[in-house]
Chain A
Amino acid sequence: MVEDKILVWKFNRGSKDALRRIYEKYKDDLLGLAITLLRDRSLAEDVVHDVFVSFAGTAGAFHLSGTLKGYLSTCVANSARDRNRLRSGRDAGPDVVEAAGSNSTGPMERAIGREESGQLNDLLARLSYEQREVIVLHLHHGMRFREIAKALGISINTVQSRYRYGLDKLRSILNSVVTK
């Protein structure tokens, strides 16, 4: 948190090192978020790229009110939503699972990570985009419901109900898988 404040202070004074450090600190998390939301690696990379370029354009006037991670996650979520609307329901399919785990370190870890994240991605893909968005922002990126509501411009009750219905749906999907 303090490190982020210092990085933002330096960034506002035109430090390229600060911008590079911010990018390196959050790039993987943000790409993971974009991939989970969009289920398309190339689209997700474009989203993260656009978010960082527009963030860099605020140098000298950027004011951080919450956490930097929360701010960037919100930007990625909003940009991903716009991209999702644009592609109008076209889904990336199973290659996303491959893409999500393809850059892990060892072969064993890669295989396990691919399997687990692929399993979750398959499950999350069966939720609506809005439910997936709220669940991922809350559980993977540690954002509070209030923060999510503010970031998405919706009420906190809507966020909570999307989260609850999303989890219920996940639970029923998992139960049906277990009983088969």
Chain B
Amino acid sequence: MRPKENIEKFVRVRKPHVTTSRQMDKRTLNDSFAAMEQTIRAKPADHKPSTARIITLSRMMKLTAAAAVIIVGISLFIAHQGPSEKGGTTRVLEVAESPSEIMTMKSLTIAYRRGGIKGIENQCEKALKILGPQPASISLGDLFNGSNG
């Protein structure tokens, strides 16, 4: 009885050494080249994978894309829901009650942003209305000191 290894060796060393004929090589290569050209001509876009395909194929790209989407989402949320300059101005203006507060640089800047020179004029008129008629010789400091400034 031959051992298993001997049989395996017997089969392995008797592997047939065959070579193809020239006719077969020519026929096979010609037909293969034709099939290859036909395939490449039929779908040239396949060589350049789309962005969506790149993202779905690569795990790293998936994570990057997800992170980018989250960042953009958060940015948009902050831009729409966060404190706007307009809201901030309203709050400042609502708080500013005394003429000195109304005439601060911050209040005037906000007024200018909202309505330009006209806005500053309105702001000044508002302060003057609260102060009422005053003598022309009074200094700016005394003017505001005398009215809850």
> Are A53 and B16 neighbours in the complex by a CB distance under 8 Å?
no
Q: List 26 A-B contacts (CB under 8 A).
A: A13-B47, A14-B40, A19-B32, A19-B33, A27-B20, A28-B19, A31-B19, A31-B20, A32-B15, A35-B18, A48-B24, A49-B31, A53-B32, A57-B38, A59-B39, A60-B46, A103-B18, A116-B13, A117-B15, A119-B14, A139-B11, A140-B15, A170-B7, A171-B7, A174-B7, A175-B2
Q: How many positions in chain B have a CB within 8 Å of any CB in the partner chain?
A: 33
Q: How many A-B residue pairs have CB under 8 A?
A: 121
Q: How many positions in chain A have a CB within 8 Å of any CB in the partner chain?
A: 44
Contacts of B36 on A, CB cut-off 8 Å?
14, 16, 19, 56-57, 59
Complex formed: what's the CA distance from A13 to B2 in Å?
A: 51
Query: Which of B2, B13, B16, B25 is the one whose CB lies under 8 Å from A100?
Result: B16
Q: Measuring CB to CB, which residues of chain A are less than 8 angstroms from any residue of chain B?
A: 13-14, 16, 19-20, 23, 27-28, 31-32, 35-36, 45, 48-49, 52-61, 100-101, 103-104, 113, 116-117, 119-121, 124, 135, 139-140, 167, 170-171, 174-175
> Are B8 and A139 neighbours in the complex by a CB distance under 8 Å?
yes
Query: Which of A56, A100, A124 is the one whose CB lies under 8 Å from B32?
Result: A56
Question: Is B1 on the interface with A (CB-CB < 8 A)?
Answer: yes
